[in-house]
Amino acid sequence: MPVFNCDGVDLYYEIHGDENSEHTVAFFNGVMASVSSWHPMIPVFEKTGFKIILHDFKGQMKSGKPEGMYSFAQHAAEAKALFQHVSVEHAHIIGTSYGGEVAMKLAILYPEITDSISIIDSVSELDEVLKGFVLSWKTLCDAGDGETFFWGMAPSLYGPDFFQKNREMLAGRARATKNAPPDYFAGQKRLYDAFVQDVYMTDELGRITCPALVICGEDDILKKPKFSKIIADSILDSEYITIPDCGHVAIFEKTGELCSAVLGFIMKHIAA
């Protein structure tokens, strides 16, 4: 299992695609996810010749879960250190939800290593409804039952059409989550705290100079399209699209459409 130790914290990572490619894409996970969440999208980027980096943030499934307060600046610094470890000087970043927020912070702090950012279902500030959702997940974590945790948060994540058509698949994911180790929930709570306390970065988005693609599921009730519009309006070189009939987890609900949008966006800027 490839692990990079960054200031005493083990970060799990994977490398796919052409390791000698001059173009790299890095995928940044949503808060409850792991690197495996991106595997359905990986073949498209492999076939188009990219080097691909995935990693679990500290606090996530296969990485270390140190105690203490996390921040988006820490995640960005750790991603930069990982890039250096695998000999990547710069990359196109694709991030969903929490991962999109880390991607924005990376572009703010380290523009020299950020070729572009694709931000999927993310925010740069909170409202009380979103804050309430996230704090309720901490209560679910305290129960320590993975299946209860999954069903408790699922209605806020998946669009109604996807939820109705994929209940069996979701039930399988719920059963798999039941076996999550206790430290999974401890890590989740630290990530939720980081989100609630540190996600405010709207005022910093004007510092992002790389091209940005902002994507939101039209039916996302967790991180509503209004938040994506704020991001797109605040980044000078940005494009904004919504995906119809899609909730918060576009990487599962509309994988094909997402691949088309993100790959097209990146290839356009490579060719420019």
Q: What is the pLDDT of residue 218?
A: 96
Residue 162 lies in a domain: no
Q: Is the pTM of this model over 0.95?
A: yes
Mean pLDDT per block of 10 residues along the chain (272 residues) reads 93 97 98 94 96 98 96 98 97 98 98 98 97 94 91 92 92 88 93 98 98 97 98 97 96 96 97 86
Residue 169 lies in a domain: no
Contacts (Cβ under 8 Å, ≥6 apart) of 205: 104, 108, 124, 231, 234, 235
- Find the domain containing 241 and state its range: 3-125+199-271
**Structure token digits, residue 34:** 């792991």
Closest CA to 104 of 134, 132, 125: 125
Residue 171 lies in a domain: no
Token pair 């140190």: residue: 66
Task: Give the SS3 label for residue 158.
Answer: coil
Residue pair 265/92 in contact by the 8 Å Cβ criterion:
no
Measure the CA–CA gap between 15 and 52, rounded to whole angstroms.
6
Q: What is the pLDDT of residue 238?
A: 98
Contacts (Cβ under 8 Å, ≥6 apart) of 195: 31, 98, 101, 134
CATH code for the domain of 38:
3.40.50.1820
Residue 168 lies in a domain: no
Q: What is the pLDDT of residue 35?
A: 96
Pairing of strands 51-55, 114-120: unpaired
Residue 166 lies in a domain: no
Measure the CA–CA gap between 78 and 70, rounded to whole angstroms.
11
Provide the domain count of the chain: 1
Residue pair 249/157 in contact by the 8 Å Cβ criterion:
yes
Measure the CA–CA gap between 83 and 24, rounded to whole angstroms.
10
Residue 67 lies in a domain: yes
Residue 152 lies in a domain: no
Amino acid at 82: L
Residue 155 lies in a domain: no
